[in-house]
C-alpha cells in the first residue's frame, strides 16, 4: 500500500464537527470494523476525501424523516404493483387496449419502478455511511521470473510436440487444417438458390397486360389523365411481393412533352412505362412531380427526369431507370412488348 | 430475530465455502471498491438497458410468429381487418392490440433498444475522452467497440422483424448493399435471404429471428460478461482527487453501498423506459401497413443508430464502374461497406495508434480530462462531427422539408461539410482545449482571482490572487502533466511524459525502420501540447495573499 493514501481510522475530534447520530455511528462502526483482505481494503473518514455527511446522519429527527421517505417510496412501489393488477383485470381490453390500457398499465408500472429506484437511491444517499473505502491496485504484469518460466513452459511444450523438427507431420497437419473447414462451407450451399440470371429478368412478357396495382384492372388507353401516373404489374403476376423487380410505372405526358426520341418510340401515344425499382438501392420510387416530370426516390433522393428518358439529375443513383417497351393490343389495353432490355434495380457484380 | 437471521446467513456462506473455498474471494468481492463519478453511470445504463431488453424480449417471443406465411388479419385493429399480410406482421398487430400489456412491452423493448445503443455510444465517448482505454484496458476497449457494432446490428435485425412497410424498406436497402459487394455480393444476398428479394421462400424472417433472439444476444451476453469481469479484475479507473493515486482506488464498497445504489439505478433506468413505453409512441407498425414491394412512404426513417449509414448512402456521389462484363456500384459499396469498415477499424486501432505515437507503454489508472490531451480530444470531436454530419445527412429530406430548404442545396452543403466540418471541429477543439489548459496553468501559478483590487505605493492597480490549496494545486499540476515531486499527494508513475516500459521483455528492442521513422514524423503532432506556455512565474505584477 502506498504511503500517501489516507489510512487513519476516524478519530472523534472535538471541535466544530457535529457528532453522528447513534444509528449513523453504528453504521460507521460496522464499516470501519470490517475485516480487510489482500487488497488492504480499509475505510477512510468521509472528511478526509472532502465528502460531507448527509443531514440525516447528524440529526436524529432528519434520520427518522429520511427513513420514512425511503419507506414511502417502497410503499408507493407496492401499491402501484397492486394497482397494475387491478387495472389489468378491470379495464375492458376490447374497448381500450393500446390506449387507455397502455397508459394505465404503463403508468402504474412506471410509478412502481421509479418509486423503487428512488427508495434505493435515497437509502444509499441519506442513511448509509458516506465514508469511503480505499484499496490497493496491483500490477497487472507478473514478476519477470514468472513470465520467463511460463514462456519456457510454452516453448518446451512446443518442442515436445516436435512440430519444429517433424516436417512431414507439420505439413500434413497444415493441409488437413486447411481442408477441414471446407465441408462446413459446402454445407452452407443450400442456404439459397444460385442467382443464375434471376436478377436479369422480371415477370414481364410479350403481351403482358399492364394491371393497375390499386384497382387490379388492366389499363386501357384513355384511362390515364394527361400528367397521370399509375403503378402497374404484369397480368398474371400481380403480387408485388412475389415479383419484386416487376413493379412499373405508367406515365401519360401531354403531347410534345417527351424530349427523348427513344423514350417516345418505346412508349405509345405519349404513354411511357419505366421500372419503379430505383437503380440505386432498389426502393420503389414513388414521388412524381407533375409539372417538372421529376420522379424522386424517397429513400435516398435520387431524382430522374421522366421526360428525358429517366435521366438521373440528382442524387446517388448512377443509372437511368430502364424503360419497358409498350404498345396497345386489339382491345385497346396496354401490353408489354417483352421483358426489360436490361436488368432492373440496383447494380450487382455480374450485371456488366 | 437478528440472531436467527445471522445464523442463517452464516450457515449459507459456510455451505458455499465448504464447496468452493470461496470465503476469501467473497470477502474481497464484498470489499470491492467502486469510485464515484456521474460519468461512470453511463456504462451502467447500457448494462441495465440490456437487462430490460432480455426481460421484455423474452415476453415478446411468446407472441411473435417468425413466419412469412400470408394470412388475412381479423384482429382488433379495424383499419387493417381483412388485409392480407405475413404472419410476422399479423402477430405483431396481435400482441399490440389483443394482448393486454403487449403494446407496453413492445414499446419498452424498442425504447430500451434505442437507449442501449445510445448509452453505449455515450459511454464510449466518456472512455475515449478520459483516456480510460489506455493500457491495461485496451482489450476491454476492443470488446466495447464490438459490443457497439453488435448492438447496432441487433437493433436493425429487431426492427426489421415485424415485416411492416418501414422495416421492409430497410431490408430492401440492406439487400442492395449486400449486392454491391464485388465478386460475391449477389451470392451473399441470395444465401442470406434464401431467395430473391423479398423472401417469398419464407426463410428470411425465421433466419433473422434466430439471429435476433439467439445468435447476437448470445454473443452480446458473453462479451458483456467478459467486459464486466475485466473491469472487476482490473478495478475501475478514477479521476485524480484527494488521496487518489495510480496505486489505489477510493470509493464505496460493493456490498452494501454500491449494490444498493446500483440496484436503485437499475430500477430508475427501467422506470424511464417504462415511462417512454407507456406515453411515447414508438414504431407504430399498424400505421405503416404490411410490407409491399411496390410501395414506400415518404420520410422513411430508420432508428437513430442506422442514420449514419443512411446519410452516407444519401451523400455519396453517383459513381459506378463497368468493365469486362462486371459492375462495381461504388455509390453503394463505398458508403455502405467500406466507410463503416474504416470507421469501426479506426475505433479498434485507436488505443494502439496513440500508444505507438506517444511511446506511452505505462499503466494508467487515473483518468485525464479532455483538456489534458488536446490532440486526442480534437480527434474525438473530429470523429463525432463526421458521424454527426452523416447522421444529419440521413434526414436531409426531413430537414429540407421542415426548414423549406432546397433538397439539392441541403445535400450539397452536407457533401461539403462532411469534408471540411471535421477539420474545422478539430481546429476549434484543439484551440479550446489549449486555452483551457493555459487558464489552468495561470490558476496554478497565479492562484485564483479574488476580485480584490489593490493600489500599490507606485500608484499602480493590481488584482490580488489567492494561491490554490496545496492539495488542489498538486492535483491540477498532475493533470497538466508537470512532474511535481514536492507534492506528495500524487506520486509519480503516472505515465505523463516518461513511459517506464513496464512489461517489456528483454531483447525486444525494435529495429529502426520505416514505421519508426513515420512515428517520429508524427510525434510532433501529438506532443504539441508540451510546448512551454509563457513563463508566468516571473511576472512582477502578481501578488499573492500573505
User: CB–CB of B270 and A286 under 8 A?
Assistant: no
Which of B196, B246, B247 lies at the smallest CB-CB distance from A244?
B196
DSSP per-residue letters across B433-461: HHHHHHHHHHHHHH-EEEEEEEE-TTS-E
Mutate to test the interface with A, among B30, B331, B487 (most CBs of A within 10 A): B331
Which of A35, A88, A124 lies at the smallest CB-CB distance from B27?
A35
Q: What is the pLDDT of residue B519?
A: 67
Calpha distance B74→B95 (Å, rounded): 13
Residue of chain A minimizing CA distance to B317: A316
ipTM of the complex: 0.89
Mutate to test the interface with A, among B293, B392, B414 (most CBs of A within 10 A): B293
DSSP per-residue letters across A104-139: HHHHHHHHHHHHHHHHHHHIIIIIS---EEEEEPPP
Mean pLDDT within B523-529: 57
Helix (H) or strand (E) holding B96: helix B87-97
Most confident stretch, B189-193, B318-322, B363-367, B504-508: B363-367
Which of A50, A132, A319 lies at the smallest CB-CB distance from B320?
A319
Which band of pLDDT confidence, cut at 50, 70 and 90, is reported for residue B194?
confident
CB B454 within 8 A of CB B464: yes
Cell of B92: 405483431
DSSP state of A203: S
Determine phi and psi for B487, rounding to 5 degrees. Answer: -90, 105
What residues 223-252 of chain B have any CB closer than 8 A to a CB of chain A?
Answer: 234-235, 241-243, 245-252
Contacts with A157 (C-beta within 8 Å, 6 or more apart), sequence order: none
Q: What is the pLDDT of residue A147?
A: 93
Compute, in degrees rounded to 10, the torsion defined by CA atoms A66, A67, A68, A69: 50
Mean pLDDT within B341-367: 92
Calpha distance B275→B268 (Å, rounded): 10
CB B425 within 8 A of CB B385: yes
- For residue B125, give the 3-state DSSP assignment: helix
> Quick one: what percent of chain B has pLDDT higher than 70?
86
**Contact residues on chain B for A139, CB-CB shorter than 8 A:** 363, 502
Q: What angle do CA B184, B186, B191 make, to 5 degrees?
A: 90
Is residue B279 domain-resident? yes
What residues 416-435 of chain B have any CB closer than 8 A to a CB of chain A?
Answer: none
Q: Work out whether strand A271-275 and strand B70-72 pair parallel, antiparallel, or are unpaired.
A: unpaired
Q: Domain residue spans in chain A?
A: 22-134, 203-336
Contacts with B487 (C-beta within 8 Å, 6 or more apart), sequence order: B470, B473, B474, B477, B478
Is residue B403 domain-resident? no
Q: What is the pLDDT of residue A100?
A: 81
3-state secondary structure labels for all residues of B265-282? HHHHHHHHHHHHHHHCCC
Calpha distance A270→A267 (Å, rounded): 7
Q: What is the pLDDT of residue B546?
A: 33
pLDDT digits (tens, 9 = 90+) for B474-499: 888 888 887 644 444 443 333 333 33
Calpha distance B52→B269 (Å, rounded): 9
pLDDT digits (tens, 9 = 90+) for A271-315: 999 999 899 988 888 888 888 899 988 888 899 999 889 899 988
Cα first-last separation, chain A: 70
> How many alpha carbons fall within 13 Å on the CB side of residue B336?
26
Residue, of A6 and B356, whose pLDDT is higher:
B356
Q: What angle do CA B70, B75, B79 make, to 5 degrees?
A: 90
What residues 46-85 of chain B have any CB closer than 8 A to a CB of chain A?
Answer: 76-77
Cell of B546: 500573505
Is residue B464 domain-resident? no
Which band of pLDDT confidence, cut at 50, 70 and 90, is reported for residue B462?
confident
Low-confidence ranges of chain A (pLDDT < 50): 1-4, 11-16
Chain A to chain B, count of Cβ pairs less than 8 Å apart?
Answer: 328
Which band of pLDDT confidence, cut at 50, 70 and 90, is reported for residue B531?
very low
Tell me if chain A has a CB within 8 Å of the CB of B527.
no
pLDDT digits (tens, 9 = 90+) for B198-228: 655 678 899 999 999 999 999 999 999 999 9
pLDDT digits (tens, 9 = 90+) for B281-290: 999 999 888 8
Tell me if chain A has a CB within 8 Å of the CB of B308.
no
User: CB–CB of A299 and B192 under 8 A?
Assistant: no
Q: What is the pLDDT of residue B197?
A: 77
DSSP per-residue letters across B513-543: -HHHHHHHHHHHHHHGGGSPPP--TT-TT--
Cell of B532: 512551454
Which of B248, B331, B502 lies at the smallest CB-CB distance from A280?
B331
Residue of chain B minimizing CA distance to A130: B252
Q: What is the pLDDT of residue B302?
A: 86
Which band of pLDDT confidence, cut at 50, 70 and 90, is reported for residue B348?
very high
Residue A140: burial class (beta carbons within 10 Å; 0-12, 13-18, 19+): middle
> Quick one: what percent of chain B has pLDDT higher than 90?
54
B305 to chain A nearest CA, in Å? 17
Calpha distance B423→B429 (Å, rounded): 10
Q: What is the pLDDT of residue A163?
A: 86
**Contact residues on chain B for A244, CB-CB shorter than 8 A:** 196-198, 293
Q: What is the pLDDT of residue B339?
A: 94
Torsion sign, CA atoms B263, B264, B270, B274: positive
Q: What is the pLDDT of residue B138?
A: 95
Compute, in degrees rounded to 10, the torsion defined by CA atoms B13, B16, B17, B18: 120
Residue of chain A minimizing CA distance to B314: A300
Cell of A68: 420514512
Q: What is the pLDDT of residue B494?
A: 37
Calpha distance B377→B426 (Å, rounded): 8
**Contact residues on chain A for B179, CB-CB shorter than 8 A:** 199, 346-349
What residues 8-47 of chain B have any CB closer than 8 A to a CB of chain A?
Answer: 24, 27-28, 31-33
- Fold annotation for A203-336: Rieske Iron-sulfur Protein (2.102.10)
Distances (CA, A) of A304 to A288, A300, A316: 10, 12, 11
**Contact residues on chain B for A292, CB-CB shorter than 8 A:** none
Please state the pTM of the whole predicted model.
Answer: 0.89
Query: What is the overall mean pLDDT for chain A?
Result: 87
Which of A1, A101, A199 lies at the smallest CB-CB distance from B100?
A101
3-state secondary structure labels for all residues of B292-324? CCCCCCCCCCCCHHHHHHHHHHHHCCCCCEEEC
Q: Which CATH number fits the domain that encloses residue B44? A: 1.20.810.10
Calpha distance B90→B68 (Å, rounded): 10
CB A336 within 8 A of CB A208: yes
Q: What is the pLDDT of residue A96?
A: 60
CB A343 within 8 A of CB A321: no
User: CB–CB of A316 and B314 under 8 A?
Assistant: yes
pLDDT score of B513 more than 70: no
Total domains in chain B come to 1
Q: What is the pLDDT of residue B379?
A: 94
**Peptide bond just before B136 cis, omega within 30 deg:** yes
Q: What is the pLDDT of residue B68?
A: 87
Calpha distance A139→A143 (Å, rounded): 9
pLDDT score of B123 more than 80: yes
Is residue B80 domain-resident? yes
The range of the structural domain enclosing residue B77 comes to 29-293
Residue of chain B minimizing CA distance to A73: B264
Q: What is the pLDDT of residue B301?
A: 80
- Closest by CA to B497, choosing from B521, B531, B530, B532, is B530
User: CB–CB of A282 and B197 under 8 A?
Assistant: yes
Helix (H) or strand (E) holding B47: helix B41-61
User: CB–CB of B264 and A121 under 8 A?
Assistant: yes
Query: What is the overall mean pLDDT for chain B?
Result: 86
User: CB–CB of A117 and B295 under 8 A?
Assistant: no
Distances (CA, A) of A53 to A45, B243, B311: 10, 18, 51
Q: What is the pLDDT of residue B483?
A: 60
**Contact residues on chain B for A103, CB-CB shorter than 8 A:** 278-279
Amino acid at each position: 500500500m502506498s504511503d500517501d493514501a489516507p489510512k487513519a481510522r476516524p478519530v472523534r475530534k472535538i471541535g466544530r464537527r457535529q457528532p453522528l447520530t447513534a444509528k449513523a455511528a453504528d453504521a460507521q462502526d460496522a464499516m470501519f470494523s470490517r475485516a480487510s483482505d489482500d487488497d488492504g481494503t480499509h475505510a477512510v473518514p468521509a472528511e478526509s476525501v472532502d465528502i460531507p455527511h448527509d443531514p440525516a446522519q447528524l440529526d436524529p429527527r432528519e434520520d427518522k424523516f429520511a427513513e420514512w421517505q425511503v419507506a414511502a417510496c417502497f410503499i408507493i412501489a407496492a401499491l402501484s404493483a397492486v394497482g397494475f393488477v387491478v387495472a389489468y383485470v378491470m379495464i375492458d381490453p376490447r374497448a381500450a387496449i393500446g390506449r387507455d390500457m397502455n397508459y394505465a398499465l404503463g403508468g402504474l408500472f412506471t410509478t412502481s419502478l421509479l418509486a423503487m429506484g428512488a427508495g434505493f437511491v435515497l437509502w444509499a444517499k441519506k442513511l448509509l455511511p458516506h465514508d469511503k473505502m480505499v484499496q490497493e491496485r496491483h500490477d497487472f504484469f507478473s514478476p519477470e521470473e514468472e513470465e520467463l518460466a511460463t514462456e519456457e513452459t510454452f516453448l518446451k511444450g512446443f518442442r515436445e510436440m516436435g512440430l519444429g523438427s517433424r516436417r512431414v507431420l507439420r505439413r500434413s497437419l497444415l493441409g488437413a487444417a486447411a481442408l477441414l473447414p471446407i465441408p462446413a462451407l459446402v454445407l452452407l450451399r443450400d442456404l439459397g438458390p444460385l442467382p443464375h440470371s434471376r436478377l436479369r429478368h422480371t415477370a414481364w412478357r410479350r403481351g403482358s397486360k399492364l394491371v393497375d396495382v390499386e384497382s387490379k384492372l388492366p389499363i386501357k388507353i384513355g384511362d390515364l389523365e394527361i400528367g397521370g401516373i399509375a403503378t402497374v404489374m404484369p397480368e398474371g403476376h400481380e403480387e408485388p411481393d412475389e415479383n419484386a423487380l416487376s413493379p412499373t410505372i405508367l406515365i401519360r405526358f401531354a403531347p410534345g412533352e417527351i424530349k427523348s426520341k427513344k423514350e417516345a418510340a418505346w412508349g405509345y401515344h405519349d404513354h411511357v412505362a419505366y421500372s419503379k425499382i430505383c437503380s440505386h438501392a432498389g426502393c420503389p420510387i414513388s414521388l412524381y412531380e407533375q409539372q417538372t416530370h421529376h420522379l424522386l426516390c424517397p429513400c435516398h433522393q435520387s431524382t430522374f427526369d421522366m421526360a428525358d428518358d429517366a435521366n438521373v439529375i440528382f442524387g446517388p443513383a448512377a443509372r437511368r431507370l430502364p424503360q419497358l417497351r409498350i404498345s396497345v393490343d386489339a382491345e385497346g389495353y396496354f401490353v408489354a412488348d417483352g421483358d426489360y432490355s436490361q436488368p432492373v434495380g440496383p447494380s450487382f457484380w455480374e450485371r456488366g | 430475530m437478528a440472531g436467527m437471521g445471522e445464523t442463517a446467513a452464516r450457515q449459507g456462506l459456510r455451505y458455499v465455502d465448504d464447496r468452493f473455498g470461496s470465503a476469501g474471494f467473497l470477502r474481497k468481492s464484498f470489499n470491492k471498491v467502486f469510485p464515484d463519478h456521474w460519468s461512470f453511470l453511463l456504462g451502467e445504463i447500457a448494462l441495465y438497458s440490456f437487462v430490460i431488453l432480455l426481460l421484455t424480449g423474452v415476453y415478446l417471443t411468446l407472441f411473435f410468429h417468425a413466419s412469412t406465411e400470408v394470412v388475412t388479419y381479423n384482429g382488433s385493429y379495424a383499419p387493417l381487418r381483412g388485409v392480407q399480410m405475413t404472419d410476422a406482421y399479423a402477430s405483431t398487430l396481435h400482441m399490440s392490440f389483443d394482448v393486454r400489456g403487449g403494446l407496453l412491452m413492445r414499446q419498452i423493448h424498442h425504447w430500451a433498444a434505442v437507449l442501449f445503443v445510445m448509452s453505449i455510444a455515450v459511454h464510449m465517448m466518456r472512455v475515449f475522452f478520459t483516456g480510460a482505454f489506455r493500457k491495461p484496458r485496451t482489450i476491454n476497449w476492443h470488446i466495447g467497440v464490438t459490443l457497439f457494432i453488435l448492438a447496432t446490428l441487433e437493433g436493425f435485425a429487431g426492427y426489421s422483424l415485424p415485416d411492416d412497410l418501414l422495416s421492409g424498406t430497410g431490408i430492401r436497402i440492406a439487400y442492395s448493399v449486400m449486392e454491391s459487394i464485388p465478386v460475391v455480393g449477389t451470392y451473399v444476398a441470395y444465401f442470406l435471404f434464401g431467395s430473391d428479394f423479398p423472401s417469398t421462400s419464407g426463410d428470411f424472417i425465421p433466419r433473422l429471428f434466430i439471429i435476433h433472439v439467439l445468435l447476437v444476444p448470445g454473443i452480446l451476453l458473453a462479451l458483456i460478461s467478459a467486459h464486466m469481469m475485466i473491469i472487476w479484475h482490473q478495478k475501475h479507473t478514477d479521476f485524480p482527487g484527494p488521496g487518489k493515486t495510480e496505486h489505489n482506488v477510493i470509493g464505496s464498497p460493493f456490498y452494501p453501498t454500491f449494490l444498493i445504489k446500483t440496484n436503485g439505478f437499475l430500477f430508475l433506468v427501467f422506470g424511464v423506459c417504462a415511462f417512454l413505453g407507456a406515453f411515447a409512441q414508438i414504431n407504430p407498425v399498424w400505421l405503416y401497413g404490411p410490407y409491399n414491394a411496390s410501395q414506400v412512404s415518404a420520410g422513411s426513417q430508420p432508428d437513430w443508430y442506422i442514420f449514419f449509414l443512411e446519410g452516407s448512402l444519401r451523400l455519396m456521389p453517383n459513381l459506378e464502374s463497368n468493365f469486362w462484363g462486371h459492375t462495381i456500384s461504388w455509390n453503394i459499396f463505398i458508403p455502405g461497406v467500406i466507410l463503416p469498415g474504416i470507421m469501426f477499424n479506426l475505433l479498434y486501432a485507436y488505443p494502439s495508434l496513440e500508444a505507438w505515437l506517444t511511446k506511452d507503454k505505462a499503466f494508467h489508472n487515473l483518468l485525464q480530462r479532455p483538456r489534458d490531451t488536446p490532440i486526442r480530444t480534437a480527434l474525438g470531436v473530429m470523429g463525432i462531427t463526421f458521424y454527426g454530419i452523416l447522421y444529419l445527412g440521413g434526414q436531409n429530406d426531413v430537414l429540407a422539408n421542415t426548414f423549406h430548404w432546397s433538397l439539392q442545396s441541403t445535400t450539397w452543403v452536407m457533401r461539403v461539410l462532411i469534408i471540411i466540418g471535421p477539420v474545422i471541429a478539430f481546429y476549434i477543439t484543439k484551440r479550446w482545449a489549449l486555452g483551457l489548459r493555459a487558464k489552468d496553468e495561470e490558476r496554478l501559478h497565479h492562484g485564483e482571482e479574488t476580485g480584490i483590487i489593490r493600489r500599490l505605493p507606485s500608484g499602480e492597480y493590481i488584482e490580488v490572487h489567492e494561491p490554490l490549496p496545496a492539495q488542489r494545486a498538486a492535483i491540477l499540476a498532475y493533470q497538466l502533466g508537470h512532474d511535481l515531486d514536492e507534492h506528495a499527494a500524487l506520486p509519480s508513475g503516472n505515465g505523463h511524459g516518461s513511459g517506464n516500459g513496464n512489461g517489456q521483455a528483454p531483447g525486444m528492442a525494435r529495429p529502426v525502420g520505416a514505421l519508426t521513422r513515420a512515428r517520429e514524423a508524427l510525434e510532433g503532432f501529438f506532443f504539441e501540447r508540451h510546448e512551454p506556455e509563457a513563463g508566468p512565474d516571473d511576472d512582477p505584477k502578481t501578488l499573492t495573499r500573505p
